[in-house]
Structure 1
Amino acid sequence: MGESRTELIAWLNDLLQVNYTKVEQCGTGGAYCQIIDSIFGDVPMARVKMNAKHEYEFIGNFKILQNVFRAHKIEKPIPVEKLVKCKMQDNLEFVQWIKRFWDSNYGGQGYDPVARRKGASTDTPATIAPLAPAARSAGLGVGGGRAGGRTPIGGPRSTSTQPNEVVQQLRTQLAEMSQHLEGLEKERDFYFAKLRDIEILVQQQLEVVEAEGKEDPTLRDIQKILYSTEDGFEVPEPTVDEEETF
């Protein structure tokens, strides 16, 4: 607990040969996976995304970490929901714990982090950047007397400069929103694919059970959950062209 954030980052960068600047970057999960790999050497680093950019990729890294914890009977709970938000305090506490664990369990053996991750890029964001509100106040100044505290210098009261600034800010915000939406769509597809695999497996098992003249209430309950809907959300009826969707 005695190390500062600066000391922890320096230790992590030296151990993993990365260039992290904030503990928040550990929220992607890649660094945690490789720290544990430096101890046991059996983390499937080929599956770890050291340059993860989206939350669904962070979650994938933490699933790998959870599997390794189970394999080595490490009882420390991993607060995945908090860590993937890339908040400083949550990740600082986990980095402090994992440093103590490393101090107690690392055997001093040689470790080549770059070779273990096969030279994969470690360029990772510091946080999941929220949608910038930068254009909110500026947007209110369009067509008004002042925008951002600036007053036109000389000439008629033209807003030619101010709208350009506002347009640029709005373009930046739009680009950030598009990137955020792309991440959400990938995350949606990621979980939909998993649910689809579960649906197929349940259906196959039900067919086997029914062929034997038996009944499996648990499988039926799972199937009900998969097909259940809520008020305001209904699964659209498939068209002829969409027969292969489900």
Structure 2
Amino acid sequence: MGESRNELLAWVNELLQINYTKIEQCGTGGAYCQILDSIFGDIPMTRVKMNAKHEYEFIANFKVLQTALKGHKVDKPIPVEKLVRCKMQDNLEFMQWMKRYWDANYGGQRYDPVARRKGAPVDTPATIAPLAPSSRTGGGLGIGSGRAGGKTPVSGHRSGSAQPNEAVQHLQAQVREMSTHLEGLEKERDFYFAKLRDIEILVQQQVEVLEAEGKDDQVLRDIQRILYSTEDGFEVPDPAVQADEEETF
């Protein structure tokens, strides 16, 4: 058995001089990168976003980690898809491995985590919580729960209790967090779409050059087939029809 999550949190916060409150916050990848940097001192920390908030930034951090492990001939698969979801169990297991590796390889040298980050901001990462946790006792949002014969309205006031205001503030915080998460997903979508578009243009240009020379390349044709393939039931909209609909609207 490895260390508990509380023990690991205390260790990583002290080592890196950060203030994480949950082990799943390590799913942003920044802490893992700097733990490795404390061992080897050669991780390109300027490429690591310690205050990453969006999944595409998490993935970029893990790419730095993967490159560093490979460069030091560390044969350790990284379950990136699981870790970036910021789930407790996945990150707990990976952090336990990181701690064992650190114990076995850290040479005891002085390490200044703040200097290595060159003063880059380190915000405590947030984890996305369910919007409306289910409850079998009382009201669905926990407002006025346990009170028989009626409900306390959100805008009401009950002597000696700040529960309604706290619930509203909690929900507002979740809405803000979900809005930020949605913005990140949209940026991630646009990021990968732009890459696919660049690939499409590059492949098309190369195909046209080969056609002019009377040649063909099956690999390029296969790439085009993948780019233009669609799922069952999905039809690519006709630009002319789409334009007419927009004008009518």
CA positional deviation for 1:71: 2.3
Q: Does the residue aligned with 1:231 lie in a helix, a strand or coil?
A: coil
**Alignment counterpart, residue 162 of structure 1, candidates 153, 158, 163:** 153
Contact 1:29 1:59 in 2 (8 A): yes
Q: Distance in 1 between matches of 2:224 and 2:52?
A: 33
Q: Does the residue aligned with 1:66 lie in a helix, a strand or coil?
A: helix
Give 1:48's aligned residue.
Answer: 48
Structure 1, gaps ≥5 residues long: 141-145
Q: Distance in 2 between matches of 1:147 and 1:45?
A: 49
Q: Deviations over 1:169-213 (max 9, x none)?
A: 797265444333222212211221222232233223333433443
Measured on the aligned residues, the alpha-carbon RMSD in Å equals 3.5
CA positional deviation for 1:74: 1.8
Q: Distance in 2 between matches of 1:6 and 1:168?
A: 30
CA positional deviation for 1:216: 1.2
Task: Give, as a single letter, the amino acid of the residue that structure 2 aligns with 1:193.
Answer: A
Q: Distance in 1 between matches of 2:139 and 2:180?
A: 22
Q: Does 1:37 align with 2:37?
A: yes
Aligned residues with identical type, % of pairs: 74
CA positional deviation for 1:151: 6.8
Q: Distance in 1 between matches of 2:107 and 2:123?
A: 28
CA positional deviation for 1:40: 2.4
Q: Distance in 2 between matches of 1:87 and 1:203?
A: 41
Quickly say closer, same or farther: Cα 1:121–1:237, change in 2 above 3 A: farther
Contact 2:53 2:125 in 1 (8 A): yes
Task: Give, as a single letter, the amino acid of the residue that structure 1 aligns with 2:131.
Answer: L
CA positional deviation for 1:43: 2.1
Q: Distance in 2 between matches of 1:8 and 1:130?
A: 25
Q: Does 1:201 align with 2:192?
A: no
Quickly say closer, same or farther: Cα 1:10–1:178, change in 2 above 3 A: closer
Q: Distance in 1 between matches of 2:195 and 2:27?
A: 23
Give 1:67's aligned residue.
Answer: 67
Greater alpha carbon shift after TM alignment, 169-178 vs 196-205? 169-178
Quickly say closer, same or farther: Cα 1:139–1:170, change in 2 above 3 A: farther
Q: Distance in 2 between matches of 1:174 and 1:3?
A: 34
Q: After superposition, where does 1:197-236 map in structure 2 within 5 Å?
A: 197-236=198-237
Q: Does 1:178 align with 2:179?
A: yes
TM-score, length of structure 1 as denominator length: 0.77
Give 2:85's aligned residue.
Answer: 85
Structure 2, gaps ≥5 residues long: 156-163, 244-249
Quickly say closer, same or farther: Cα 1:170–1:45, change in 2 above 3 A: closer
Q: Does the residue aligned with 1:111 lie in a helix, a strand or coil?
A: coil
TM-score, length of structure 2 as denominator length: 0.77
CA positional deviation for 1:13: 1.6
